[in-house]
Structure 1
Amino acid sequence: MISTKWAKQIKSLQLKKYRKAEQQFIVEGEKAVLEVLASGWQVPALFATERFLQQHPTAIQAAQLVQPCSPDDLVKVGTFNSNDAALAVVAIPSWPAFQTTPGQWTLVLDSINDPGNLGTIIRVADWYGIQQILCSADTADCYNPKVIAAAKGSFLRVKLHYLNLPEVLTRTHLPVYGAYLGGENVHQLALSEPGGFIVLGNEANGISQQVGQCISRKITIPAFGDAESLNVGIAAAVISDNLKRLSTLS
């Protein structure tokens, strides 16, 4: 059983202001919890079913507190509709200050509001070996439970920095590519160098005017049908795939 104190703590961590105050967040589900236990990140508390505890006796040693509970307990305090494994309370890590790396790509998110989209983009970045994402202050919180669920463990390997985007982009000497409905065909780009920034805009409004002033090259994914637009997570994957491919050829 999960104590009243911990139940309140877990519930509070579903809100951004308490995550920020406590510097903690929650991870749910067997696979994601196992990944975080193996990551070296600090895990102040682990709540898990007897089955999970018996199957993973070595992994659970990474948690400071381990408490058995039922699947119903996990569902009551968490965000999943079903969870027969575990829930971990995890300390938010401190990343080094953002620095650009020549030859590497960085995704830049300008007001991405949907947590599911952000989680998908984090997973895409991890797939393509993109290790850093720059986010505007109003982009969804990367420790939102919906983001963590959608990222599928990739949040452990991709560093997100919430910064003033124009300030960062106006100082860089690397190319800044912006995703627009009109621009250079991403399939046929000639890259000036194998790396830079890839800017993706808000789901409804695209790249803001202020950030748009920092774009050095507008790019687009050519359409072959009649769809009005692509989901930003899908667009992130298509653009990342093409730019990574092209950068290996340049």
Structure 2
Amino acid sequence: MVTKNQIKLVVSLQQKKYRSQHGLFVVEGAKTVNEILEAGLKPYKLFVDEPNKAENFNGVEVVSKSELKQMSSLSNPNGVLGVFYIPNVKKTENTDWLVALDAVRDPGNLGTIIRLCDWFGIKHLICSLDTVDCYNPKVLQATMGSIGRVNVVYMDLLDYLTKTSLPVFGTFMDGDAVYQVKMPKTGIMVMGNEANGISNEITDIVSQKITIPQFGPETTESLNVATATAILLNEVRRS
């Protein structure tokens, strides 16, 4: 039987400070929980609201629908909730492309970018310290389990990019058209903040400014950052 303290702990994990304090995060939905288990992340507790759902998981606890609703961050809980240990961050490697995010704040955008990294085989995603937390429940919903396969690292982005030996690509409205740029075998693709783009400090150390050409009427200010990431990673892999 789930205790009040356990419910209180799970609810607290909706806030970043408690995720950091306990080293735990929450995911919901059978598919996402399964994907994270398959990726090798260690579960702390698994909860389901019906006994028949327990057959798909080891070490699961059956709770009532009202108890699961108390723990859930969703208005309509989907019956499976997992609490996982936050994995240790791995050292980034310079043998392939990396994506770097400069103050991306929208959880849906970050979750989609993590999923895109997984799709295009980008193993390491570097985030500035003011980028939204990758274990935010809304981010996790958007990753669809890819959080278990992409190494997300938070660090001083300016310091990292200043010291790297890799070429640094950045997206700008006045950059060279990406379709005419020959992409190297390794590099870092920097994506900027939703409202302000790449910061001035990062702009100063970008070695190649690129843009995605607009073919329609010039009525749209810019592409959504996740959409732009998809197009650019496709070009990276196509090259």
Equivalents in 2 of 1:81, 1:88: separation in Å? Answer: 17
C-alpha separation between the residues in 1 aligned to 2:182 and 2:61? Answer: 56
Query: How do residues 154-193 of structure 1 correspond to structure 2 at under 5 angstroms?
Result: 154-191=146-183, 193=184
Deviation at 1:212, TM superposition (A): 1.1
- 2:21 alignment counterpart: 21
* Structure 1 unaligned regions, length at least 5: none
Contact 1:71/1:82 (CA < 8 Å) preserved in 2?
Answer: no
Deviation at residue 124 of structure 1 after TM alignment? 0.7
Answer yes or no: is the 8 Å Cα contact 2:114–2:150 preserved in 1: yes
Residue number among 209, 234, 239 corresponding to 2:227 in the alignment: 234
Aligned identity (percent) is 42
Residue 33 in structure 1 maps to residue 25 in structure 2: no
Which of the numbers 70, 83, 87 marks the counterpart of 1:89?
Answer: 83
Q: Which SS does the other structure have where 2:43 is aligned? A: coil
Aligned match of 1:222 = 213
CA distance in 2, matches of 1:84, 1:166: 41
Query: How many aligned residue pairs are there?
Result: 236
C-alpha displacement at 1:97, in angstroms?
A: 2.5
Q: CA deviation at 1:164?
A: 1.0
Higher mean Cα deviation, 75-84 or 148-157?
A: 75-84
- Provide, for residues 96-117 of structure 1, a one-character-per-residue CA deviation record: whole Å limited to 9, x for no partner: 222322xx11000000001111
Pick from 188, 200, 203 the counterpart of residue 197 of structure 1.
188
The separation in 1 between residues aligned to 2:101 and 2:190, in whole angstroms, is 6
Task: Name the counterpart of 2:74.
Answer: 80
Q: Please, which runs of 5 or more residues in structure 2 have no aligned partner?
A: none
Structure 2-normalised TM-score?
0.94
In 1, the alpha carbon distance for the partners of 2:38 and 2:79 equals: 16
Q: For the residues of structure 2 that align with 1:178 and 1:244, how far apart are their CA atoms?
A: 17
Do the aligned residues in 2 keep the contact of 1:128 with 1:240 (CA within 8 Å)?
A: yes
Q: Give structure 1 regions of 4+ aligned residues with deviation exceeding 4 angstroms.
A: none
Aligned-residue offset at 1:84: 3.3
Q: Which TM-score applies when normalising by structure 1? A: 0.90
Q: Say yes or no: does 1:213 pair with 2:204.
A: yes
Asked whether the equivalents of residues 179 and 220 of structure 1 are also in contact (C-alpha less than 8 Å), the reply is yes
